[in-house]
Amino acid sequence: MSEALSGLLFDRWPYLLTVVLLLIGLYGMLMKRNLVKKLIGMNIFQGAIILFFIVHAYKHGASVPVHSAVLGDAPEAYMNPIPHGLMLTAIVVSVATTGVALALLTVIYRRFGSIDEGELLRRLRDRE
């Protein structure tokens, strides 16, 4: 096994996981015909991006980002809190989007009695 590949598999496997999750999310969003599954795909995709930010912010052996005399001034001793803060915001955004999407889905289901994209697109095309 080459150096680069083993490095990827053993040291950076969370990034591989991110890529796998991104692909699963993309598959759900673009290929699934059930609108709820599309929404789930969207959430997986957003989750993967959140994971990406958190993984790259991780530092082995670092402490919470509160300055202490014991750990000193070295930046390596502390976690970078910004990606976590950003992702808290991104989670809020993701929840809000999911809320709007679910509200739309309930309206769609009430009006058409279906959440199958193929069926809905057929109904969209015929003139009433």
Partner 1 sequence: MTVPAGSETLAHHGEHMASAFDATAQSQLPMLVLIPLLVGLALVPALGLLRRRLAYPTTLISLLAFLYYSLRTLFAVMAHGELEYSLAAWKPPIGIELSVDMLSAFMVSVIAVIAVLVAIYASVAVRREDPEKEVPYFATMLVMLLGLTGMVLTGDLFNLYVFFEVSALGGYALMAIGHKKAPVAAFRYLIMGTLGASLYLMGVGYLYVVTGSLNMDDVAAIIMHQSSNPAVQVSLILMVIGLGLKMALFPMHLWLPDAYTYASSTSTAIIAPIMTKVSAYVLIRMLFFVYDTETFLRGTPVGAVIMWLAMGGVIVGSIMAIAQKDAKRMLAYSSVAQVAYIGVGIGLGTPLALVGAMLHILNHAIMKSCLFLVTGSVALQTGATQIKDYAGLGRKMPWTFLGFTLAALGMVGIPPTNGFFSKWYLVLGGIREGEWVLVVLILASSLLTAVYFFRVIERIYAKVPEQATNDASLPKTAEAPLRMALPVLILGAGVLVLGLFNAWLVSAVIARALPAGMHVPGL
* Binding residues vs partner 1 (CB under 8 A): 11-12, 26, 29, 35, 38-39, 42, 45-46, 49, 52-53, 55-60, 75-76, 80, 82-83, 86, 89-90, 93, 96-97, 100-101, 104-105, 107-108, 111-112, 117, 120-121, 123-124
CA–CA dist 54, 48 (Å, integer): 10
Report the Cα–Cα distance between both ends of the chain, in Å, rounded. 62
Smallest distance, Å, CB 120 to partner 1? 5
CB of 62 to partner 1, least distance (A): 8
Our CB check for partner 1 shows the closer of 11 and 66 to be 11
Q: Contact, 33 vs 117, CB < 8 A?
A: yes
Closest approach of Cβ 46 to partner 1, in Å?
A: 6
Q: Which is nearer to partner 1, 31 or 68 (CB)?
A: 31
Between 68 and 116, CB nearer to partner 1 = 116
Give dist(CA 90, CA 86) in Å, integer: 6
Position 43, amino acid: N
> CA of 109: how far to CAs of 32, 33, 38, 70, 98, in Å?
17, 14, 15, 59, 16
Phi, psi of 63 (to 5 degrees): -105, 180
Closest approach, Cβ 2 to partner 1, in A, equals 18
